[in-house]
Amino acid sequence: MRIEARLAQDEKRTYPYCIGGKRRALPEECGGPLAFIVRRDTLSLYVADLLEVIQDDWAAGDFGAVRDRSEDLEALQEWLGLDEFDRRALNRRLRQYTAHDEAWRC
């Protein structure tokens, strides 16, 4: 979190709120920030290799192999979407938190 300026409070707004962001939070079982970085870098190479194999299988007309590889991609889904950030969803959860709504924990 970075505070860029102190402004007058807007009575129509619920605080806290997010004005921007980048990436999702780390996956729960990633082993911490350093382990996350190592795994992310390793997975980047793995995904690049996997996509190359899928492309080769596709070019060879081996669609059964492509289908089999799709299961590998599904297993990586959480890691493949880490660069996504949904500011509106975060602000919804912050409003729930402020209202003491337990749904914010989900």
Check residue 101 and give left, alpha or beta (phi > 0: left; psi -120 to 50: alpha).
beta
Task: Read off the pLDDT of residues 26-58 as tens digits, 9 standing for 90 and up.
Answer: 777 888 889 988 888 888 888 889 889 999 999
**Same structural domain, 47 and 66:** yes
pTM: 0.56
Which residue segment(s) compose the domain that 99 sits in?
A: 1-22+85-106
**Same structural domain, 17 and 54:** no
**Same structural domain, 17 and 34:** no
Q: How many domains does the chain have?
A: 2
Give residues with Cβ within 8 angstroms of 81, minimum separation 6: 24
**Same structural domain, 77 and 32:** yes
Q: How many CA atoms lie within 13 A of 3 on its CB side?
A: 4
